[in-house]
Every structure is written in C-alpha cells, then in structure tokens.
C-alpha cells in the first residue's frame, strides 16, 4: 500500500489511484468496508472477488458515481472530489448502452466532446481499429452484438487519451479472439505508462496481464500483492535417480514430499514471498543431493495458479490479510 505523506507529490509522480478507508453501506448491508489500495502509473491492477464482494461499488466510489460513507480517493494526484481529477480517466462500466441510432464513429465523437478533448477523426478511427470495429464504423449501434457493444465501450474508454483506464468486466461478452485483443490492448497501455484497474472474473486473463491483484471478499480487502507475492513459488518437481534414505531426508528438510517413482514433488512451507535471487534453498538442495550421489535429471518450479490461490484466500476463515507492500 502507498502511505500518504504530507510532502506534496507532483501530480504526474503520484499513483493513478490512491484510496484509503473506503466504506459504503446500502441500508443495513455493508458493500465496502475499509478498502485501501493504490494503482501505480503504468501498472495493471486486477480487482478480484466473488459476486457481491463489492468490486463495482469500489470502482464507482473511485469515480464519484457512488458517494462513499467514509474514505478518501485521489485520482492522478488530485482529490477525486474535484471533477477535473476525472478528465484523464477512461471508464468502461459493467452495464452500459449507447444510443442505438448512433454509429460507433458518432459515439466516439460524442464522448470526445463530452471529455472536452481534442482528438482528430483519424485518431478516433484508430481507436475503432484497435478494438476491431473499423469496418463497422458507420453501422448503427442498435444492430450490434453484445461483444461488439463491449468493444465499442473499450474504444470509448480509450478515445480521449486517458492516463488511467478503469474497466469493469471488459471481456464478459467477448469471444476468445476478442479477449486476446483486449489483452494486447492492456499490455500496450501499460507499455505507454497508462494505469489500468481491471475488474474481471476471468482469472486466467487477470493472471496474464496484471502486475498486482487486490482480492475483495465481503467488502473487505482479503489479500493484495503482486502475482509473485501472492503466488510465490509453491514447490519443486524433481526427477531423480539413485534416491536413498539420506537423500529423501534431505528433500524432506525443505518441505513435504510426494513421490511417484523417480519424480518427487516438494511443497515448500511458505508461499515463497522472497525473491528467487535471495532464495538459496533450491541450489543448496541440488548441490547436497548431488553430493549424496543422487542423479538430478530435472528440477522445475511448481507454482499454484491464481485461481487456486484465490480459492484458498476465499475459503480460509481468517479475516483480511495483507500481502502487498
Ligand atoms: N444500488 C445498490 N443498492 C443496494 N445494494 C447494492 C447496490 N449496489 C450494490 N449493492 C450491494 O452491494 C454489494 C456489493 O455489490 P457490487 O455490485 O459492488 O459487487 P461486485 O463484487 O461488483 O459483484 P459482481 O461480481 O456480482 O458484479 C452487494 O451485496 C450488492 O447487493
């Protein structure tokens, strides 16, 4: 998490999103409870969590579409309460509908005007091409499929050259090719320094593009951190020859063992928050095995998937835990 300081930070150096202590209740139901996180410039951050966890409410609170009961939000270095803070934010809502009588070209033109931005017609066409709609630029939106509407929504979010893009379920209606296109778009944004906050149930997609993940559960941050921090290196799979009791004991000294013939899987005791470079466990283990006369045919890391980790986090009964810095 990014700590707030009293030293003024130039707007372009400050995180794209910074929120602290966000809370929102609807009647007696607490939708968001003490949520804090940051999205750095040029970072892609995934917001994950089960249905009703509060993801959309957090996004709407960040963008001023929902008034939080408590908490502070800074967007691109300015308090989110100042409308100007949203001028450089592109947003794709979870549910949206464009005027069915407009064409995509007209929708983009309208949003460029609403954003008060100067974006040439050629650049607007480029945005349509980026989302694969250039050949439908002059058709009526009313005749578009769900996936085509979603592509248009993405083009709208990107058209005014945002510094921060907030995408709420951007690929729910897309085919696999469309999802791959969006992935490329997100990676391109990251490369050009644009920050992205992505809410998606497609965990594989989040795992491929996100640098950092925030997991919400019952309105609270259940875990957050980089993929390395959250997934770590869970274990090792080794193919070994000449195993004896001493070698097995050495293997067991680093974690719990599972053996199938000459393949041994070692589950390491922690999720491996430490970076690989500082972790001497594997080279030391291999050197010791060799010294014990074991023939080491292969050593490969076994990392849990984000999906497995998410299920672990959500099933564990422990209250909110923080993994992120
Ligand atoms: N306008 C509203 N009025 C009353 N309750 C609401 C409203 N919006 C959201 N909620 C409640 O707040 C909680 C969080 O909803 P939210 O839409 O933020 O969840 P989510 O994580 O985005 O869910 P999903 O993955 O299903 O989209 C839910 O219990 C929901 O019923």
Q: Which residues contact 154 (CB under 8 A, 6 or more apart)?
A: 92, 131, 167, 170, 182, 185
Asked whether 68 lines ligand 1 (CB < 6 A), one says no
CA distance 102 to 97: 11
Whether 26 lines ligand 1, by a CB cut-off of 6 Å, is yes
**49 Cβ closer than 6 Å to some ligand 1 atom:** yes
Cβ(31) to ligand 1 under 6 A? yes
**Shortest CA distance to 63 belongs to which of 16, 26, 21?**
16
β-pairing, 212-217 vs 44-48, is parallel
> Among candidates 297, 181, 279, which has minimal Cα distance to 232?
279
Whether the CB of 67 sits within 6 Å of ligand 1: no
Mutational test site, ligand 1, from 22, 31, 32, max ligand atoms within 8 Å of CB: 31
| Ligand 1 contacts CB of residue 53 (under 6 A) | yes
Ligand 1 atom nearest to CA at 66: 1
Q: Which tokens hold the place of 244?
A: 């004896």
Nearest residue to 298 via CA among 253, 252, 264: 264
Distance CA 119, CA 121 (A): 7
65 lines ligand 1 (CB under 6 A): no
- Measured distance CA(221)–CA(319) in Å, rounded: 9
Q: Is the CB of 132 under 6 A from ligand 1?
A: no
SS3 label, residue 155: helix
Closest among 298, 307, 156, 314 to 239, alpha carbons compared: 298
- DSSP for 69-86, written as a single string: SEEEEEETTEETTSGGGG
Q: Is the complex ipTM more than 0.95?
A: yes
Both tokens of 71, joined, read: 């908490």
89-92 and 164-168 strand pairing: parallel
**What residues have CB less than 8 Å from 319, skipping those under 6 apart?**
220
Q: Which regions of the chain are under pLDDT 70? A: 1-12, 232-233, 270-279, 317-325
Count of alpha carbons within 13 angstroms of residue 171, beta-carbon side? 22
Confidence at residue 179, expressed as pLDDT on a 0 to 100 scale: 87
Q: What pLDDT sits at residue 165?
A: 95
State the Cα–Cα distance between residues 149 and 135, nearest whole angstrom.
Answer: 14
Find residue 25's DSSP bridge partners: 30
Q: Which residues contact 135 (CB under 8 A, 6 or more apart)?
A: none
Instruction: Determine the distance from the C-alpha atom of residue 153 to the mean position of all C-alpha atoms in its chain, rounded to a whole number.
Output: 19
**Under a CB-based contact definition with an 8 Å cutoff, are residues 19 and 73 in contact?**
yes
The torsion angle over the Cα atoms of residues 225, 228, 232 and 233, rounded to 10 degrees, is 180
Q: Atom of ligand 1 at shortest distance to CA of 59? A: 18
- CA 259 to ligand 1 centroid distance, Å: 46
Our answer on whether the CB atom of 278 is closer than 6 Å to any ligand 1 atom is no
CB-facing half-sphere around the CA of 16: CA atoms within 13 A: 22
Tokens of 234: 């869970």
- Going from the Cα of 56 to the center of ligand 1, the distance in angstroms, rounded, reads 7
Query: Is 0.80 surpassed by the pTM of this model?
Result: no
74, 15 in Cβ contact below 8 A?
Answer: yes
pLDDT at 120: 92
Residue 223 forms beta bridges with which residues? 215
């Amino acid at each position: 998490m990014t700590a707030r300081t009293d030293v003024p930070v130039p707007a372009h150096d400050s995180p794209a999103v910074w929120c602290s202590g966000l809370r929102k209740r609807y009647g007696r139901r607490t939708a968001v409870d003490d949520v804090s996180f940051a999205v750095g410039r040029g970072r892609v951050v995934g917001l994950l969590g089960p249905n009703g966890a509060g993801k959309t409410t957090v996004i709407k609170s960040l963008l001023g579409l929902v008034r939080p009961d408590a908490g502070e939000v800074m967007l691109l270095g300015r308090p989110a309460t100042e409308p100007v803070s949203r001028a450089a934010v592109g947003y794709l809502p979870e549910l949206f509908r464009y005027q069915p009588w407009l064409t995509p070209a007209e929708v983009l033109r309208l949003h460029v005007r609403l954003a008060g931005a100067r974006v040439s017609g050629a650049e607007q066409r480029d945005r349509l091409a980026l989302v694969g709609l250039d050949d439908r630029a002059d058709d009526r939106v009313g005749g578009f499929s769900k996936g085509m509407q979603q592509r248009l929504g993405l083009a709208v979010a990107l058209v005014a050259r945002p510094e921060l893009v907030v995408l709420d379920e951007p690929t729910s209606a897309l085919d696999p090719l469309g999802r791959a296109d969006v992935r490329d778009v997100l990676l391109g944004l990251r490369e050009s320094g644009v920050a992205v906050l992505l809410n998606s149930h497609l965990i594989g997609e989040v795992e491929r593009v996100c640098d950092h993940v925030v997991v919400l559960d019952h309105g609270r941050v259940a875990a957050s951190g980089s993929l390395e921090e959250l997934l770590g290196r869970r274990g090792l799979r080794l193919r070994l020859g000449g195993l004896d009791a001493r070698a097995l004991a050495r293997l067991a000294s680093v974690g719990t063992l599972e053996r199938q013939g000459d393949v041994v899987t070692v589950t390491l005791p922690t999720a491996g928050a430490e970076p690989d470079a500082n972790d001497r466990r594997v080279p030391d283990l291999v050197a010791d095995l060799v010294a014990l006369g074991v023939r080491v045919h292969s050593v490969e890391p076994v990392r849990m998937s984000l999906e497995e980790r998410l299920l672990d986090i959500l099933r564990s009964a422990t209250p909110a835990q923080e993994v992120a810095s």
